[in-house]
Amino acid sequence: MIELGKMQKLIVIRKTQIGVYMNSRSSKGENDILLPKSQVPEGTEVGDEIEVFVYKDSEDRMICTTIKPKLTVGELAVLRVVETTNIGAFLDWGLEKDLFLPFREQVGKVKKGGAYLVGLYIDTSNRLSATMNIYNLLSSESPYKVNDRVKGTVYSISKQMGAFVAVDNKYQGLIPNKELYGNYAEGDTVEVRIKHVREDGKLDLSLRQEAHNEIEGDAQKIMKKLELSGGKLQLNDNSPPERIKAELNMSKAAFKRAVGRLLKEGAIKITDKGIERMW
């Protein structure tokens, strides 16, 4: 059986001037597909087995190639947009015919030249298409444990929940809003820490290091802000978390830890209005 969108080994059934026609060993002589002459290995004979990728050409005919594309059905890959239209975008996936990303399968703003994490699927018309709706294509069986450092790709942003991340472009991950500092968009690559492995195997992520490793950097950030603000900063333990995040891009808990460190070192003092630099 020939499988669309996958690498597979097929048999040379017959040779022609335009290439060789191929099929599976179990075929009964129907639906042979062409491997173009430019793709046929030198010395190929009828009965030879060749590993190929099966897709459809511009005229919607089944065809195969010895070139392995950047992703196959069931896989994920970051692909670059070569063209955008009012019905969708076209992606470079390593083959002569670009891969179509329908508008309905896009998440966020897709721009020409941008690179996005997509999956490959067979649509209702039996054509290969790309999708950015990859939640169900990701695994929840990762090899990671708490405090491991990993890389991933942001594939969706939710105002209610945070940033959904494909860890290693394979596993389910989420940076909750309370851990999301800075501006991120779909397609961004992030380096994160595994904060929690949930019972269902999905990963809760953080952009920050462990608390004891973050204090030094946070303290330096506060001192820099004090320097730019004339030595005074109207933030203290009673300041709303939202204001602290807006001004320092850190959580209230991280702010309190860093302030405690600076107080202990004698670098700042607490006033009625906030904190002041001592030196």
In tens, the pLDDT along 176-193 reads 988 887 788 888 899 999
Q: What is the pLDDT of residue 52?
A: 97
Return per-residue pLDDT of the chain as tens, 279 residues. 899 999 999 999 999 999 999 999 877 667 899 999 999 999 999 999 999 999 998 888 899 999 999 999 989 999 999 999 999 999 999 998 999 999 999 988 899 999 999 999 999 989 999 999 999 999 999 999 998 999 999 999 888 999 999 999 999 999 998 888 778 888 889 999 999 999 999 999 988 765 455 677 788 888 888 888 888 888 888 888 888 888 888 788 888 888 887 887 778 888 888 888 876
* Beta pairing class for 203-206 and 88-92: unpaired
Question: What secondary structure does DSSP assign to 214-237, as a single string?
Answer: HHHHHHHHHHHHHHHTTTEE---T
Stretch(es) of the chain classified as CATH 1.10.10.10: 211-277
Helix (H/G/I), strand (E/B), else coil: 255: helix
**Amino acid at the residue 120:** L
The average confidence (pLDDT) of the chain is: 89
Q: What is the pLDDT of residue 262?
A: 84
213: Cα within 13 Å, side-chain hemisphere: 6
How far apart CA 63 and CA 54 sit, in angstroms, is: 6
Q: What is the pLDDT of residue 148?
A: 92
Provide the CATH number for the domain formed by 211-277 in this structure. Answer: 1.10.10.10
How far apart CA 4 and CA 19 sit, in angstroms, is: 20
Strand order in the sheet with 115-122: 99-102, 88-92, 76-84, 115-122, 128-131
In this structure, whether the domain defined by 7-65 belongs to CATH 2.120.10.30 is answered with no
In this structure, whether the domain defined by 138-206 belongs to CATH 3.40.1390.30 is answered with no
Q: What is the pLDDT of residue 218?
A: 80
Fold of the 76-135 domain:
OB fold (Dihydrolipoamide Acetyltransferase, E2P) (2.40.50)
Stretch(es) of the chain classified as CATH 2.40.50.140: 7-65, 76-135, 138-206
* Contact in structure between 132 and 99 (CB atoms under 8 Å): no
Q: What is the pLDDT of residue 59?
A: 86
Q: What is the pLDDT of residue 28?
A: 66
**Residue keyed to tokens 């669309």:** 4
